[in-house]
């Protein structure tokens, strides 16, 4: 009889912008009403089946925060808002994002949802969508709000809440009440997730394991130079070497898991199965008893130990030793695990389940009786969108087959290792992940290395920063840990892409910016520049003539700013993910001597404005805390020194003027800048969001060229 171990890995990165406490993407909630609920519910139908659920701390933290209301869900707010009250940016946001779903199984089967996609078009083009907004009725938007959230509901949700099936049959003309009932169900399910998994462990059907807190590639956090071991000769970032962060990610994971589930985790799925020998003492120090990884890492370890890599060696537990510490380990059977994740949905459910069971039986015939181990370890959430029935038929056939087959028994990893202590030892563990047994997805390409460099610069800044409170340092470290997560680097470089690449990039850099803000300093301008290699067109108009406005805080006379360049806050994609903006627009112009800027406000508040210059690099011009009526100079900050320059006036608008001479730049020189707003010392807004405004300092010839009658 062979022991079949399933480790279902559940993970979502930290989508919450800590400055606004706003979850910028909805995947925690949406996967909860589908995969997370379905997986634990199906298990309960088969009491003879035992599995592992690996619940990442950052996932469970977000579930907890969403349930207790300490963070808000932006896409839920777009969904909740009455369709008739949606403003232009919200309507454009919904048109862009509410078709981000698996089309074949979760959109096309529903006539109204499919009709709405046809109306919008297969791709989203903001200018086109804006021009066609008048053709979208409130009923269209209400149906789209409803369908996006309704279609995500998994088979268990539909079975548990019959009104969901009724709404699917209704198909169109949903009411605000019906829409909000779907969203209420979402929140009810979200609140049930942690208790359901805790109950599954309590009754002995599941073992709950964990992952380093923010899902970092732990070997690279320990030392990016470890990449040389499995990727010799590849370009690497400036060395990032923070073993203490690697330990903290483990300890924080164990602490939260213990608090949430009442029992410390015994096992660990290192993020992406990534391992290195130096992690063994850290895992043991954190109280962990075993880890899981991929078969290629085992075979490479055996070769490093000078042994022949026999495939049948995989099907057992292992002891791993390093520098006087030892921990147990199991390694996933890659083809069978990948079949479930990538291929099973292409087959009829009973055929896919039988294919897997047949391979289990064949292996059982080859392995030692009672001690043979078949480890199937994979993502437990993303693949179900590709099954026509959400995986219901496959899982039920698979678990039913396991329950009745005398040659197979399912068990948790903890149960197996307790009954079958490892007899083999690895003394030289390979460094690598479950993907090609290396770290190529997360380091080595230009964008990835640039991300590591920015992370390293910020981490070093924090380590050297003096004079901040213990609370501020702890909060800043938390931002570092979040930025160490693997998910940001997954989307950098050429390996993977998604419609949300720019959002992931923005969130990564926001975590780094927050470190500086928490320490009371201005983030460097480099953190405003996107890492992703996309060409961002300027989203501002350029000045049409030279300007020399009077700086008095008055919007009149109109000709003061006639012909100025302008930028409308909210005109970029990123602006849709900011709520309650202070700034409405900015206008800018120049003559041969100075740069002039006017800021129109939506509302006043206790804030400062800052012009961050990308060129000349390192210059920041800051206003004092703004009041309704104020005149005075600005402050130029340059390499730790400050001096008063220029003019500032507030009234109906905010106006400022900065001499080019104070910026150290002459005629023909290039100036690049962004305008930032700081509220309670936290950066709240930045415009333009994706690329700085760029201009060339004019010369006397410029005025002659613009002369006219």
Beta strands in 404-504 (DSSP E): 408-410, 424-426
Assess whether 343 and 414 both reside in one domain.
yes
Number of domains into which the chain is organized: 3
Assess whether 502 and 562 both reside in one domain.
no
Query: Mean of the per-residue pLDDT values for the chain?
Result: 92
> Which one-letter DSSP state was computed for residue 618?
T
Copy the structure tokens of residue 558.
Answer: 């109109």
How far apart CA 88 and CA 706 sit, in angstroms, is 37
How far apart CA 353 and CA 394 sit, in angstroms, is 6
- Sequence-ordered list of residues with C-beta below 8 angstroms from that of 156, at least 6 positions apart, any chain: 37, 38, 41, 42
* 560-569 per-position pLDDT tens digit: 898 899 998 8
Higher pLDDT, 604 or 404: 404
- φ and ψ at 209, to 5 degrees? -120, 180
Assess whether 348 and 380 both reside in one domain.
yes
166: exposed, middle or buried (Cβ count in 10 Å: 0-12, 13-18, 19+): exposed
Assess whether 512 and 565 both reside in one domain.
no
Tell me how many degrees the CA angle 125-127-129 measures, rounded to the nearest 5: 65
How far apart CA 2 and CA 316 sit, in angstroms, is 10
Residue 433 within any structural domain of the chain: no
CA distances from 705 to 595, 619, 708 (A): 19, 30, 9
- CATH code of 566's domain: 2.60.40
Assess whether 598 and 514 both reside in one domain.
no
How far apart CA 300 and CA 275 sit, in angstroms, is 12
Residue 551 within any structural domain of the chain: no
Q: Taking 60 as the threshold, does the pLDDT of residue 222 lie above it? A: yes
Q: Which residue has the tokens 């002995």?
A: 204
* Among candidate residues 510, 528, 546, the one where a domain is terminated: 528
CB 277 within 8 Å of CB 224:
no
Residue 372 within any structural domain of the chain: yes
Residue 223 within any structural domain of the chain: no
Assess whether 40 and 141 both reside in one domain.
yes
- CATH code of 127's domain: 3.20.110
Query: H helices then E strands: how many in the chain?
Result: 26, 24
Residue 247 within any structural domain of the chain: no
Assess whether 191 and 320 both reside in one domain.
yes
Q: Taking 90 as the threshold, does the pLDDT of residue 302 lie above it? A: yes
How far apart CA 510 and CA 73 sit, in angstroms, is 18
Closest CA to 413 of 39, 51, 8, 13: 51
Assess whether 589 and 697 both reside in one domain.
yes
CB 410 within 8 Å of CB 401:
no
Copy the structure tokens of residue 686.
Answer: 């930045």
Residue 553 within any structural domain of the chain: no
pLDDT band at 682 (very low <50, low <70, confident <90, very high): low
How far apart CA 225 and CA 217 sit, in angstroms, is 13
- φ and ψ at 210, to 5 degrees? -135, 180
Q: Taking 80 as the threshold, does the pLDDT of residue 571 lie above it? A: no
Residue 291 within any structural domain of the chain: no
- φ and ψ at 528, to 5 degrees? -90, -15
Domain carrying residue 515: 446-528
Tell me the CA end-to-end span of the chain in Å, nearest whole number: 96
Q: What is the mean pLDDT of residues 553-580?
A: 70
Q: What is the mean pLDDT of residues 564-588?
A: 72
How far apart CA 624 and CA 627 sit, in angstroms, is 9
* Confidence (pLDDT) at 255: 98
Instruction: Look up the pTM and report it.
Output: 0.82
The alpha carbon of residue 673 and the mean position of all alpha carbons in its chain are separated, in whole angstroms, by 27
Assess whether 40 and 67 both reside in one domain.
yes
Assess whether 520 and 562 both reside in one domain.
no
* Confidence (pLDDT) at 577: 35
- CATH code of 478's domain: 1.20.1430
Q: Taking 70 as the threshold, does the pLDDT of residue 707 lie above it? A: no
Assess whether 49 and 180 both reside in one domain.
yes
If phi > 0 it is left, if psi is from -120 to 50 it is alpha, else beta; for residue 181 that is: alpha
Residue 255 within any structural domain of the chain: no
- φ and ψ at 247, to 5 degrees? -65, -40
Assess whether 492 and 397 both reside in one domain.
no
* Among candidate residues 367, 398, 427, the one where a domain is terminated: 427
* 158-209 per-position pLDDT tens digit: 999 999 999 999 999 999 999 999 999 999 999 999 999 999 999 999 999 9
């Amino acid at each position: 009889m062979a022991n079949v171990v399933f480790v279902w890995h559940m993970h979502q990165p930290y989508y919450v912008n800590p400055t606004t406490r706003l979850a910028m993407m909805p995947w925690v909630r949406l996967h909860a009403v589908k995969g997370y609920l379905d997986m634990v519910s199906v298990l309960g139908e088969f009491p003879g089946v035992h599995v592992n659920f690996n619940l990442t701390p950052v996932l469970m933290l977000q579930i907890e925060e969403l349930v207790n209301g300490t963070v808000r869900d932006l896409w839920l707010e777009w969904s909740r808002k009455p369709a008739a009250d949606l403003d232009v940016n919200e309507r454009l946001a919904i048109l862009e994002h509410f078709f981000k779903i698996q089309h074949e199984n979760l959109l096309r089967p529903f006539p109204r949802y499919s009709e709405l996609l046809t109306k919008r078009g297969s791709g989203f083009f903001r200018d086109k969508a804006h021009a066609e907004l008048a053709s979208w009725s409130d009923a269209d938007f209400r149906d789209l709000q409803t369908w996006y959230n309704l279609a995500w509901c998994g088979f268990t949700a539909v079975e548990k809440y019959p009104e969901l099936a009724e709404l699917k049959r209704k198909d169109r003309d949903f009411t605000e009440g019906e829409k909000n009932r779907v969203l209420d169900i979402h929140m009810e399910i979200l609140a049930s997730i942690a208790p359901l998994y805790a109950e599954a462990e309590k009754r002995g059907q599941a073992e709950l394991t964990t992952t380093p807190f923010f899902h970092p590639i732990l070997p690279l956090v320990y030392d990016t130079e470890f990449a040389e071991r499995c990727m010799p000769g590849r370009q690497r970032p400036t060395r990032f070497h923070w073993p203490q962060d690697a330990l903290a990610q483990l300890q924080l994971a164990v602490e939260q898991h213990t608090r949430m589930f009442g029992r410390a985790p015994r096992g660990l799925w290192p993020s992406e199965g990534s391992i290195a020998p130096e992690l063994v003492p850290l895992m043991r120090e954190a109280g962990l008893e075993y880890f899981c990884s991929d078969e290629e890492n085992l075979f490479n370890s055996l070769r490093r130990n000078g042994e022949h890599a026999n495939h049948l060696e995989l099907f057992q537990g292992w002891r791993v030793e390093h520098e006087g510490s030892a921990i147990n380990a199991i390694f996933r059977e890659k083809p069978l695990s990948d079949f479930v994740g990538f291929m099973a949905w292409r087959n009829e459910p009973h055929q896919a389940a039988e294919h897997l069971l047949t391979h289990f039986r064949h292996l059982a015939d080859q392995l030692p009786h009672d001690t043979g181990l078949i480890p199937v370890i994979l993502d437990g959430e993303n693949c179900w969108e590709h099954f026509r029935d959400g995986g219901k038929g496959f899982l039920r056939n698979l678990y039913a087959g396991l329950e009745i087959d005398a040659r197979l028994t399912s068990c948790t990893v903890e149960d197996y290792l307790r009954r079958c202590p490892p007899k083999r030892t690895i003394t030289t563990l390979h460094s690598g992940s479950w993907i090609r047994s290396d770290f190529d997805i997360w380091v080595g390409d230009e964008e990835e290395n640039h991300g590591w460099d920015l992370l390293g610069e910020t981490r070093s800044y924090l380590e050297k920063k003096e004079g901040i409170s213990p609370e501020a340092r702890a909060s800043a470290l938390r931002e570092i840990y979040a930025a160490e997560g693997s998910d940001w680097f997954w989307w950098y470089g050429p390996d993977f892409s998604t419609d949300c690449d720019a959002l992931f990039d923005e969130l990564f850099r926001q975590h780094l910016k927050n470190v500086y803000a928490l320490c009371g300093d201005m983030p460097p301008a480099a953190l405003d520049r996107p890492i992703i290699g996309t060409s961002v067109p300027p989203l501002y108009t350029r000045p049409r003539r030279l300007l020399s406005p009077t700086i008095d805080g008055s919007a009149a006379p109109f000709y003061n700013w006639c012909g100025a360049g302008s930028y409308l806050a909210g005109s970029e994609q990123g602006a849709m993910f900011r709520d309650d903006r202070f700034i409405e627009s900015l206008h800018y112009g120049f003559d041969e001597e100075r740069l002039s800027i006017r800021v129109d406000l939506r509302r006043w508040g206790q804030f400062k404005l800052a012009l961050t210059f990308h060129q000349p690099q390192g210059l920041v011009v800051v206003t004092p805390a703004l009041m309704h009526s104020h005149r005075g100079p600005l402050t130029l900050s340059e390499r730790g020194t400050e001096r008063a320059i220029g003019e500032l006036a507030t009234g109906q608008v905010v106006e400022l003027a900065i001499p080019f001479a104070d910026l150290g730049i002459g005629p023909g020189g290039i100036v690049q800048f962004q305008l930032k707003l700081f509220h309670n010392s936290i950066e709240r807004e930045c415009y333009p969001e994706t690329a700085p405004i760029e201009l060339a300092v004019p010369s006397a010839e410029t005025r002659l060229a613009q002369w006219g009658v």
